[in-house]
Chain A
Amino acid sequence: MKNAAYKKNLRKLMILAILMLAAAALYMLWNVNFTNPKFLKYSLSLRFPKMCTMLIAAFAIGAASIVFQSIINNTIVTPCLLGMNSLYTLLHTVVYFFLGSASFLATNANAAFVVDLVLMIVVATIIYGYFFKKTNYNILYVLLIGTVLTSFFGSIQSTLVRVMDPNEYESLLVTLVASFDQVNAEIIILCVILLGVLAFVLRKDLALLDVITLGKEQAINLGVDYDRCIRRLLIGVTACIAIATAMVGPISFLGLIIANLGRQIMKTYRHSHLIIGSSLFGMIALVGGQLLVEHVFNYSVPVSTFITLSGGIYFLFLLLRQKKG
Chain B
Amino acid sequence: MNVQNLTKKYDGKAVVDTVSFEIPKGKVTSLIGPNGAGKSTVMGMISRLIAKDAGLINFEDKDISKWKSKELAKRLAILTQHNNIQMKLTVKELVAFGRFPYSGSRLNQEDYDIIDQAIAYMELEEFRDRFIDELSGGQRQRAYIAMAIAQDTEYLLLDEPTNNLDIYHATNMMKTVRRLCDELGKTVVLVLHEINYAAFYSDYICAFLDGKIAKFGTVDEVITKETLSEVYKVDFEIMEIAGKPLTIYY
Contact = CB atoms under 8 A, between A and B. Distances in A.
Which 3 A-B pairs give the minimum distances between C-beta atoms? A223-B73, A223-B70, A269-B87
Nearest to B112: A1
A220 B48 contact: yes
A103 to B, nearest CB: 46
Interface stretch (B24-32, B88-96, B226-234): B88-96
B92 A224 contact: no
Contact of B82 (A75, A217, A224): A217
A216 B105 CA distance: 18
B86 A73 contact: yes
A207 B69 contact: no
B97 A1 contact: no
Interface string B59-74: 0000000001111111
B88 A269 contact: yes
A269 B89 contact: yes
A215 B85 contact: yes
A135 B104 CA distance: 30
Interface string A198-229: 00000000010011011111101111110000
Contact of A221 (B73, B88, B96): B73
A223 B49 contact: no
Interface of B: prevailing SS: loop
B107 to A, nearest CB: 7
Contacts of A221: 47, 73, 77-79, 151
Interface of B: 47-49, 68-74, 77-80, 82-90, 92-94, 96-98, 100-101, 104-105, 107, 112, 151
Contacts, number: 71
A222 B97 contact: yes
A225 B85 contact: no
B248 to A, nearest CB: 35
B100 A211 contact: yes
A125 interface: no
B86 A75 contact: yes
Contacts of B93: 1, 269
A74 B72 CA distance: 29
Contact of A1 (B70, B86, B107): B107
